[in-house]
Amino acid sequence: MSTIKHRIDTIAALEAVIGKTPGPVMLKVIDHLDDTARHWIASSPFVFAAFGDAGGIVMRCGGGPRGFAQVPEPTRLRLPLAALDEAMPASVGQGFGALFLSPGIGETLRVNGRVIGVDGEGIEIGVEECYVHCAKALIRSGFWSAQAVGETPAASDDFLLASRFMALASIDAQGRADVSPKGDPAGTMIRPQGEALWYADRPGNRRVDSFRNILMQPHIAATVLIPGSTRIALLRGRATITSDAAMRAQFTVDGRQPLLATQVQLDSLLLCESAALARAQLWPVGERDGQIDPAAMFVAHVKLSKTRGLQASLARAALSVPGLMEKGLRHDYKNKLY
């Protein structure tokens, strides 16, 4: 394993590079599945799901007809075992993180919690966090503009170089899991390097959950794909964050370098067909659910958030201006992709 220069090993070092997480970012997080989130899940044919504990994390793809996942009540989510690509050795108490997609919508719905029940037909999750993630990763990857792809590179390094999207799963020392979307044009998403690979950090929602998790517990898992194809790469490994300028320069897009790059020393890498992706039929993109309004969801969740204080009150007051959130998102997606 090569020596990594300019490693980021502490929260202080991380914040010295990217700044502190803005307080209002946390306002969009609620502790249950409200009506808008339940509708999103009912419209979703696909999910990236992760399960783990302080010792590590694994990922599975889940897919089927829209609404394959169920919401028995606002604080509970149920995933049918038949919807997952492989049998999931989930156990009560494990951390859970998920990223739900709805066709044609760039934003994603993130749901985090704990496994509270497992039976012969499904896995039950106690929901602890729910929020809408910005559309930048899917926009950068051209996720919904892709057409169905018949063949993809057979060699793992070639597949990774051609990839444009990754769902990254991380988990902290207390077993709290998270799944974060990453997206870039082919060749700038992932760079293989011997028994390791590298990916870049791009502007996103600035919650930096995966960075914080990696600093506490470096074992990660990821699903990597080429939009349009049902073939995926499943990987697990140990991640290290760096601000090394030479590595960051390799991920330059439109003249802009990322602030950080991450190395993953691979423990395993598997290329395989995803039956869940095939069932979901994501490409070519199906009809968009017109009842899902991500900007309105952001506003609704901010109002539902239990965060209090002057900063929270000011943010809620600002968001009460009609159209402000939608206008802000459009500006952000146009001017701050990289």
pLDDT of 325 reads: 83
Under the banding of pLDDT at 50, 70 and 90, the label for residue 19 is confident
- Please report the DSSP string for 79-96 in residue order: EEGGGBSS-----TT-EE
Phi and psi based region of residue 142 (left: phi greater than 0; alpha: psi -120 to 50; beta: remaining): left
What pLDDT is recorded for position 51? Answer: 96
* Bigger pLDDT: 85 vs 208: 85
pLDDT above 70 coverage of the chain, percent: 95
- The CATH homologous superfamily of the domain defined by 7-335: Electron Transport, Fmn-binding Protein; Chain A (2.30.110.10)
* pLDDT tens digits for range 154-197: 999 999 999 999 999 999 989 999 999 999 999 999 999 999 99
pLDDT value of residue 302: 83
114, 120, 99, 117: which is closest to 52 by C-alpha? 114
Q: Does residue 94 carry a pLDDT above 60? A: yes
* Euclidean distance between CA atoms 42 and 96, whole angstroms: 19
pLDDT the model gives residue 1: 45
Whether 239 and 7 have beta carbons less than 8 Å apart is answered as: no
Q: 152 falls in which pLDDT band (50, 70, 90)?
A: very high
Which tokens sit at 233?
């790469």
**Sequence spans of domains, the chain:** 7-335
Would you list the DSSP string of 186-253? TTTSEEEETTEEEEE-----S--HHHHHHHH--EEEEEEE-TT-SEEEEEEEEEEEE--HHHHHTT-B
